[in-house]
Amino acid sequence: QQQVKQSPQSLIVQKGGISIINCAYENTAFDYFPWYQQFPGKGPALLIAIRPDVSEKKEGRFTISFNKSAKQFSLHIMDSQPGDSATYFCAAIMDGATNKLIFGTGTLLAVQP
């Protein structure tokens, strides 16, 4: 119940294309869902985040779609660029005594020029 399942494990997209990464969760107590981007040798950096009372959130080329009934959420990267090539992690957190991030397993995105 504490897991966040992420797919695909890796993704190759052509420049200008749309990258889509999917995540699913079981624990309905999760109430905040951030996405992180990680480059080699660096720590994860917060990209965009959403709460379950919102179905979609857009920031620039990055959009989160959230389906509360299905307990699924996804990251869409529009007009993907080679500089977007990185590992992407979805995560979930619940408000409580320990506000720990539960991370997905990651998606390695390669955007080909």
Partner 1 sequence: DAGVTQSPTHLIKTRGQQVTLRCSPISGHKSVSWYQQVLGQGPQFIFQYYEKEERGRGNFPDRFSARQFPNYSSELNVNALLLGDSALYLCASSLEPYYGYTFGSGTRLTVV
45 lies in the site for partner 1, by CB under 8 A? yes
Q: Say if residues 106 and 87 touch (Cβ distance below 8 Å).
A: yes
Choose among 15, 19, 1: nearest CA to 75.
Answer: 19
Segment interacting with partner 1 (CB under 8 A) among 54-62, 63-71, 72-80, 104-112: 104-112
**DSSP for the chain, written as a single string:** ---EEEE-SEEEEETTS-EEEEEEE--TT--BEEEEEE-TTS--EEEEEE-TT-SEEEETTEEEEEETTTTEEEEEESS--GGG-EEEEEEEB--SS----EE---EEEEEE-
From candidates 1, 41, 83, 113, binder to partner 1 by CB under 8 A: 41
From candidates 86, 104, 109, 111, binder to partner 1 by CB under 8 A: 104
CB-nearer residue toward partner 1: 42 or 69 = 42
CB-nearer residue toward partner 1: 17 or 93 = 93
The residues facing 56 across adjacent strands are 65
**Minimum distance from CB of 37 to partner 1 (Å)?**
11
Residues 1-40 contacting partner 1, CB under 8 A: 6, 32, 34, 36
* Site residues, partner 1 (CB under 8 A): 6, 32, 34, 36, 41-46, 49, 89, 91, 93, 95, 97-106
